[in-house]
Amino acid sequence: MIHLLLLKDSNMADNQFYIQLFAILLISTFLFRAILKRKQNKVHRPPSPIALPIIGHLHLMAPIPHQALHKLSIRYGPIMHLFLGSVPCVIASTAEAAKEFLKTHETHFSNRPKSFSVDYLTYGSQDFSFAPYGPYWKFMKKICMSELLGGHTLNQLLPVRRQETTRFLKLLFKKGTAFQEVNVGGELMTLSNNIISRMIMCETWSENDDEAEEMRKLVEDTAHLTGLFNVSDFIWFFKNWDVQGFGKRLKEIRDRFDAMLEKVIKEHEEERRKRMEEGAGDGQIKDLLGILLDILEDESAEIKLTKENIKAFIFDIFVAGTDTSALTTEWALAELINHPNIMERARQEIEAVIGTTRIVEESDIVNLPYLQAIVKETLRIHPTGPMIVRESSESCTIWGYEIPAKTQLFVNLWAIGRDPNHWDNPLEFRPERFISEDGSGKSMLDVRGQHFHLIPFGSGRRGCPGTSLALQVVQSNLAAMIQCFEWKVGGGGNESVGMEEKPGITLSRAHPLICVPVPRLNPFPSM
C-alpha cells in the first residue's frame, strides 16, 4: 500500500513537472512570437494568415499542401508569407510572381533548402540537385548539359531506350491478347526504372531480376520517406532530435543503395581496366557511370569528384527520372481515356505520319504537334513536381515586400496551371490551347522554363537538366501506347477514371490506373 502511495505521489510529481515545463514553453513561445511580431511590424512582409504558436501555419497545409496553398492564395494574394513551424516561407502562386523570384531575382534564390532526409541520402548533399549553389554545383551543371544529359549522349543511348520500349509493348501485347488487366502506373514505373538503369549502368535487367526489383523498391521507399513530414526540419527545438525515428529507416535505404552502387562501380572499373589492357577503348559507347568515372580519373578536371559525388548523382537520376516520367505518362493516359475524342485525334495524327506498319519512335515526335500538345496540357494540370522549392541566400525586395535571407520559396506550379488570368477554362483538359493558329500546328509556348505560366521543369540556373530526356521518354512511350492499344477500364466498359491526387513529394494518383490494353493493330507491327 505504501509502495502504491509512493508511486502515485511520484506520478503526480512527474505530471506537475511536465505541466510546468509545458507552461514555461508555451509562455516562452508567446513572448518570442510577440517580440518577433513587433520586429516584423517594422518590416513590410507579404500578406499572411494568423499563425499559431510553435507550429506557425503548418495546420493550414493539410491534406495536400499545393492544393491548400492554392486556396490560401485566393484570399491572401499571389505572394504570401507563412511560417511552417519556425521556418519562414514565401509562396508564389502566379506566373508573374514566379518570374520575379526565378528570373528577376534569380541570384537571390539559387539555393535549395536542406532537408534531413535528402541530405542524409545524398551523402551530405554531395549530389547535384540539392548541392549548395557554388563552384561544385556549377561544374556539375556544365558536365550535365555537355556530357551526361547532352544531345550526343542521349543519341548514343537511344537504342537502350528503344529496346526497353519494345519490351514494354510486348508485355502489354501479351496481357491484352489474354484480356488481362494491368496496373498502368506500375508497368510505367518498371519501364522508366529499366531505361534509367541501363542508361546509367548498361545493365539489362528483366522485370523478374532481383537487382532490378531491388532498385525499383529503393526508388519507391525513397519517394515515400522523403515525402513524409519531418518535424525536425520545421520545429527549431526538434532540429537535432529524430523524434519520428527517420534515421534508422534512412540508414537502411542508403546502405542498400550504397551496396548496389559499390558492386556496379567495381564491375565497371574492372571492365574498364580490361578494355585498356586490350586497347579496346576507342569507339565504345559509354553509359553515364562510365562518363562519371572518366571525370573521376581526370587529374586536370577543375573540380575533383569523389565516389560519394558519383553515388549521390546517380541517386538523383534514379529518383528524379523514374517517378516523374512514369507519373506524367499515367496522368496523360488517364485524361485521354476520359476524353476519347482527344485520344482519337491523337491516333489519327500518328497514323497520318507513321502509318500502321511500324511503331512510332522518338525521331517522329517532332512531326506530332498534337501529341506534344497533349503532354504540355498534362504537365499544366498535373505537374509531376507540383512545387518548385528554393531558399534565399540574401535578403531582397520583391513587389515592395522585404524577403529576408534563409527564407524558403515555394512556387506553386499546380496553382499557376489553374490561373484563370492565363488559362481559359483552366480545369478543362484541352490540348488545342497549345496548337498555334498559323497553320503549322506548333505552339510557341515551350516547357523549358522561358514561359512562367508553364514551367514544369523549373527555370533558370536550377532548371531540370534532364528536360530533353524526360520529354523524349514520355512523348514516345505515350504515342506508342495510343497507337498500339485500345484502353479498356471497368471490365472492358467505357467507364471514366478518377482524377484524385494523393499526398506526396510528387503528384501521384490517389487510385491506380487499371486497364486492359487491347491490341488495335492487326497484324501487330514487328518489334
Binding residue ranges for heme: 464
Question: By the 8 A CB rule, do 165 and 191 touch?
Answer: yes
Pairwise CA distance, residues 52 & 55, whole Å: 6
Buried-state track 212-236, b at ≥16 Cβ within 10 A, e below 16: beebbebbebbbebbeeebbbbbbe
Coil, strand, or helix at residue 409?
strand
E strands within 331-398? 387-391, 396-398
Cβ neighbours of 319 (radius 10 Å): 24
Using the 8-state DSSP alphabet, how is residue 132 labeled?
P
Question: By the 8 A CB rule, do 66 and 91 touch?
Answer: no
Question: By the 8 A CB rule, do 506 and 385 touch?
Answer: yes
For 367, counting Cβ atoms within 10 Å of its Cβ (0-12 exposed, 13-18 middle, 19+ buried), the class is middle
Task: Tell whether omega for the bond before 519 is within 30 degrees of 0, i.e. cis.
Answer: no
Q: At what angle do helices 307-338 and 340-353 cross, to 10 degrees?
A: 110
Pairwise CA distance, residues 375 & 442, whole Å: 13
Alpha carbon 17 to chain centroid, angstroms: 46
* Amino acid at the residue 397: T
Residue with the three cell numbers 556549377: 138
Phi-psi region of 112 (alpha: psi -120 to 50; beta: other; left: phi over 0): beta
Give the CA distances from residue 500 to residues 119, 331, 334, 381, in Å, rounded to whole numbers and listed in that order.
31, 11, 11, 12
The dihedral built from the CA positions of residue 362, 366, 371 and 373, taken in this order, carries a sign that is positive
Which residue numbers belong to the known binding site?
464
Per the document, the length of the chain is: 527
Pairwise CA distance, residues 294 & 276, whole Å: 13
C-alpha cell recorded at residue 62: 493539410
Cβ neighbours of 103 (radius 10 Å): 14
Alpha carbon 461 to chain centroid, angstroms: 17
Through-space distance between the first and last CA atoms of the chain, rounded to whole angstroms = 83
Give the CA distances from residue 295 to residues 2, 133, 337, 517, in Å, rounded to whole numbers and listed in that order.
74, 20, 46, 44
Question: By the 8 A CB rule, do 393 and 111 touch?
Answer: yes
Q: At what angle do helices 288-297 and 184-201 cross, to 10 degrees?
A: 30
The dihedral built from the CA positions of residue 219, 180, 475 and 291, taken in this order, carries a sign that is positive
Phi, psi of 434 (to 5 degrees): -105, 10
